Structure 1
Amino acid sequence: MNKNKLIIICLSIIILVSVGLNFLFFNRSRKFYLQLNSLQLNPLAIKFYPMDTNPKEIKNPNQKNVVFFGESRARGWNSPKDFDDFNFINRGISGQTTAQVLGRLNQHIKPLSADIIIVQIGVNDLYRIPIFPDNKETIIYDCKSNIKEIVSQSRQLGAVVIMTTIFPIAEVPLERKFFWSPDIVVKGIKEVNDFIYSLENEDVIIFDTKAILANEQGKVREEYSRDFLHLNRAGYKALNDKLMPILQEL
């Protein structure tokens, strides 16, 4: 193979890789642009769920209403099956921060007459620390304050709160590491989880998800991971297997 031909092949490969990366970054930029504009139009996503005063999810007044509340990790939580004493309702919305979840609590939770509220929130605040490193302390402080207020307002509605610790994360893919610093996010999760434990009392139960989901390195087990942030069905089943005995005691 002569030198000119080799140069042409190398340049062709570089161009193809460049086109591929540009296509990837364009799609990601477009996605974030659409999300940003959608957020500006409806910052709390209040209309994501029906605003009925008598929600159709409440079918049997003899059942306890259990609400999964929070962001995408709550949204993806599969309801346990074959437990007739409980009516499971989901009020998770993907991508939301603790401030957004707090802002919609009354509109989305109060009409449900919830007996038990299972809360999973926090990671969408904390993964922004590497993007805004100078705001680290403020982000963590606000995250803690919002969680505390969500627990307080849930208790004022008469519900028992099962406050889950923030799920651990899995291995972060290479393309995400341009914007993510896993070590910084993990430290933030630990700090907020330590705070979550301080909220425990008679009507606030702390549900330790790391003990169920994490491997020896503190990351989500591969068999439970859908991607670096989210669980698959096996992960939620593992959580439900530990959750149901708690619910049955309430």
Structure 2
Amino acid sequence: MSRISLRIAIAVLFGILEICSIEAAAQEPGNVPETQAPAPVAAKHPDNDYWRKHDQQLLTDFPWLERFKEADLKLGPPAAGQARVVFMGDSITEGWHFDTPGGVFAAKPYINRGISGQTTPQMVLRFHQDVIALQPKVVVILAGTNDIAGNTGPMTLEETEANLAAMAEMADANHIRVVLCSVLPAYDYPWQPGLTPAPKIKLINAWMRGYAAARGYVYVDYHSAMKDARDGLPVKLSQDGVHPTQAGYDVMTPLVEEGIAKALAK
């Protein structure tokens, strides 16, 4: 073979190898920064005094066990024959104020254990102290909207559902009857806008309804009774689209009373 022919053959061979390497690289998943999918960005809440205190609380006592620790100890066991009910939840439960003099449930043995801003992982960690140790006949669980808002970091719907199931099953194992309440409608969160919570809330509620039916728990559907055309809370029931006004609680009260009665009858 002449020198010219050899050079041509080598050039052709290198050309073929280069083409093959380009095609192989095109078929491989991106492995350089500019071709990788961007990492999910954690939702950030406003920088104000409330949220700074909230974040500090997560560092020192994530589930906030100190909040009701002394009150739980002072409460003691229920009186003989008393049908104690504990409400576990977030600000929507805390804001109900039913266990204060003159409250809507003041004459009943109902205990409010709602903490503003809390997510389901926090509630799971304080569930034994703030629910099981109080020996109620019934627990009313209303939680999940702050998970969607990312108050303690990004969460999947499946993680929220697993935490709701964990609380229900802990109660069940301790002979406490379970009332699972639908997440209230919300079109947007004022402190975390743009997360489109409405369809996510509907998915959690659909799961919760099916789970409660399968496990023999009571399901209370606030959502259907309170939603507007956007699957949010109407102005007549909420000033900020998330937290009920007294008119909102007036809708919720007979629904949860019916749910408690059903649970006690089981």
Q: Would the TM-score normalized by the shorter structure come out above 0.5?
A: yes
Cα distance, 1:71 vs. partner?
A: 1.2
Residue 150 of structure 2 is matched in structure 1 by 128
Unpaired runs of 5+ residues, structure 1, are 1-26
Cα distance, 1:238 vs. partner?
A: 1.1
Residue 38 of structure 2 is matched in structure 1 by none
Instruction: Show the 5 A alignment for 1:1-250.
Output: 28-51=47-70, 55-56=74-75, 60-79=79-98, 81=104, 86-128=108-150, 139-169=156-186, 176=191, 179-183=192-196, 185-201=197-213, 203-249=216-262, 250=264
SS in 1 for 2:211: coil
SS in 2 for 1:46: coil
Q: Is the 8 A contact 1:170 1:227 kept in 2?
A: no
Q: Is the 8 A contact 2:72 2:130 kept in 1?
A: no
One-letter code aligned to 1:104: R
Normalised by the length of structure 1, the TM-score is 0.75
One-letter code aligned to 2:212: E
**Deviates further, 69-78 or 153-162:** 69-78
Deviations 1:104-146 (A, max 9, x none): 10111122111111111001111229x98xx6xx522211111
Q: Which structure: larger Rg?
A: 2
One-letter code aligned to 1:238: V
Distance 1:106 1:172 in 2: 30
Unpaired runs of 5+ residues, structure 2, are 1-45
Aligned pair in 2 of structure 1 residues 160, 206: CA closer, same or farther (>3 Å)? same
Q: Is the 8 A contact 1:70 1:92 kept in 2?
A: yes
Aligned pair in 2 of structure 1 residues 76, 172: CA closer, same or farther (>3 Å)? same
Residue 31 of structure 2 is matched in structure 1 by none
Normalised by the length of structure 2, the TM-score is 0.71
How many residue pairs get matched?
Answer: 213
Q: Which runs of 4+ in 1 moved over 6 A?
A: none
SS in 1 for 2:199: helix
Identity rate of aligned residues, in percent? 19
Distance 1:181 1:61 in 2: 50
